[in-house]
Amino acid sequence: MSNKITIEPQENLSGEIYPPGDKSISHRSVMIGSVSEDITQVENFLTGEDCIATVKAFRKMGVQIDENEPGILTIHGVGINGLHEPDDVLDVGNSGTTMRLISGILAGQPFYSVLTGDDSLRSRPMGRIAKPLRMMGAQVYCRKGEKAPLTIIGGNLNPVEYKTPVASAQIKSCILLAGIYAKGETTVTEPAESRDHTERMLRSFGAEVISSGLNRMIKGRPKLSGHKVIVPGDISSAAYFITAAVLCPGSEVVVRNVGINPTRDGILVALKMMGADISMENQREESGEPVADIRACSSSLQGCDFNGDLIVRMLDEIPLVAVAATQAQGQTKISDAIELRVKETDRISATVSELRNLGAKIAELEDGMVIEGDIELAGGLCKSHGDHRMAMSMTIAGLIADSETTIENINCVDTSFPGFWDMLSSLYR
Ligand code: S3P
């Protein structure tokens, strides 16, 4: 496939789709399944490059992971002490979740391991996980500026009580996974609640994980027992279609089997605050996670202010919310989102420059952006900045522009959503 795509403006999107499996939950199923006893079967596993990087890393540590049918994994768990030293560097590509979460598990291993990734990942901050892991007793070495490659020599961890300055599921999960290996109770406290998939999954595998306010405590050395995990559809992937339906005139789209975990549903809250016609049907629970079908129809939107704890619940969707804000009546202000600057790219500066390129009136803040609404976007040329979420967000901008939009460097979308454009065009009428 060529590494760019041209999007024509669309109206009347309609149809029903199933988004791919949740990226965060897919990663965790492999990590926790690998260090559990017995077999873990994973259904609806996301076979995007990021989650495949996690599978490859555990295979290199001696875990047998079979994919006999697409999206169905059988993980032959080796127990918490059964991993082997990898005989080569673990290259996890673009995946920050793999690098940060796996570091917690590696910190508990009495062997030497080296983690690296692509140019983007090697520029992202790793001190945020290296520091607590060192406090627990692991040797963690980084490049200058606490960047990857990382070298970890672990084993014999002490429990800690760690207060992280950043609300981040990757930091929290890293510490909880290291806490499996510590003798005693490890506690992590964050300033706001980040996604809680690790806590939910560890509990379902038999660990004692206690949540109290913003504290999460894990009791070390649990017996983890493998079982079946059914991964819900990824709300972060569903978000593109929901927003497209809201923005394109005459549209009605049903996105089925979407994970609606309250630590992840900020995009639905934000769009509803703006006045979007979104409803949930068939709410149920699957493998300890809430799931629903979501119906989204074209709507008139109002500008809003988004800040505080809601930002953590919709962090990966903010570039998309900015696209929606260009079509709202009035101004939208997004603040408290400085974490966007250390994602796969600096998503504040990338969103501002790409939307401005299409004619948006958008100002950059240190921790967010201010977007003027009721703007007719012009088609044009957009860059993905090598970031899957930028490429998909600009695709949705292309649907509502007044002429065609070409997005360059789009192969990065395979990290989280292989088949994105085919699913989108299945809604064209
Ligand atoms: C993720 C957590 C988030 C999110 C990332 C996936 C996870 O990062 O941006 O795409 O699976 O834990 P932070 O929690 O570090 O902000």
Give whole-number Cα distances, 205 to 28, 37, 63, 79, 223, in Å.
Answer: 11, 9, 17, 11, 8
- Ligand 1 binding site (Cβ under 6 Å of any ligand atom): 24, 97, 168-170, 173, 194-195, 315-316, 339
Confidence bin at 222 (pLDDT 50/70/90): very high
The answer to whether residues 321 and 276 touch, using CB atoms and an 8 Å cutoff, is no
Residues 195 and 276 in one domain: no
Model pTM greater than 0.85?
yes
Q: What is the DSSP letter of 263?
A: T
Residue 116 Cα to ligand 1 middle (Å): 18
List residues with catalytic annotation.
Answer: 316
* Domain termination site, one of 230, 265, 300: 230
First and final CA of the chain: distance in angstroms? 24
Ligand 1: which residue has its CA nearest to atom 13? 168
* Domain termination site, one of 230, 262, 291: 230
C-alpha–C-alpha distance, residues 340 and 315, integer Å:
7
Residues 212 and 253 in one domain: no
Pocket mutation for ligand 1, best pick of 100, 195, 235 (most atoms within 8 Å of C-beta): 195
Question: In this predicted structure, what is the pLDDT of residue 2?
Answer: 85
Residues 290 and 405 in one domain: yes
Residue 186's domain spans which residues?
A: 23-230
Q: Assess whether pLDDT exceeds 80 at residue 1.
A: no
Residues 131 and 270 in one domain: no
Residues 325 and 365 in one domain: yes
Residues 97 and 214 in one domain: yes
Residue 344 CA, chain-centre distance (Å), reads 11
> What pLDDT digit, counting tens, does each position of 4-29 carry?
999 999 999 999 999 999 999 999 99
Looking at the DSSP bridge assignments, the partners of residue 181 are: none
Ligand 1: which residue has its CA nearest to atom 10? 316
CA atoms within 13 A on the CB side of 104: 31
Nearest-10 crossing angle of helices 96-107, 49-60: 20
> What pLDDT digit, counting tens, does each position of 225-263 carry?
999 999 999 999 999 999 999 999 999 999 999 999 999
Residue 23 Cα to ligand 1 middle (Å): 10
Q: Which residues contact 69 (CB under 8 A, 6 or more apart)?
A: none
> What pLDDT digit, counting tens, does each position of 348-393 carry?
999 999 999 999 999 999 999 999 999 999 999 999 999 999 999 9
Q: Where are the alpha helices (DSSP H) in 221-327?
A: 235-247, 266-273, 309-313, 318-325
- Counting from 1 in the atom list of ligand 1, the atom nearest the Cα of 198 is 12
Residues 240 and 217 in one domain: no
Q: What average pLDDT does range 330-334 have in this prediction? A: 99
> What pLDDT digit, counting tens, does each position of 17-60 carry?
999 999 999 999 999 999 999 999 999 999 999 999 999 999 99
Residues 106 and 240 in one domain: no
Domain total of the chain: 2
Residues 270 and 378 in one domain: yes
Structural Rg of the chain based on CA atoms: 21
Q: Whose CA is closest to 426, among 255, 273, 289, 275?
A: 255
Residues 125 and 207 in one domain: yes
DSSP letters along 171-191, please? HHHHHHHHHTTBSSEEEEE-S
* Domain termination site, one of 170, 197, 230: 230
Ligand 1: which residue has its CA nearest to atom 11? 24
Residues 339 and 191 in one domain: no
Residue 243 CA, chain-centre distance (Å), reads 18
Ligand 1: which residue has its CA nearest to atom 16? 168
Q: What is the CATH number of the domain that holds 134?
A: 3.65.10.10
Burial of 213 (0-12, 13-18, 19+ CB in 10 A): exposed
Which structure tokens are listed for 400? 């509502």
C-alpha–C-alpha distance, residues 96 and 117, integer Å:
9
Number of other residues whose CB lies within 10 A of the CB of residue 336:
17
Which structure tokens are listed for 195? 């996604």
Residues 205 and 123 in one domain: yes
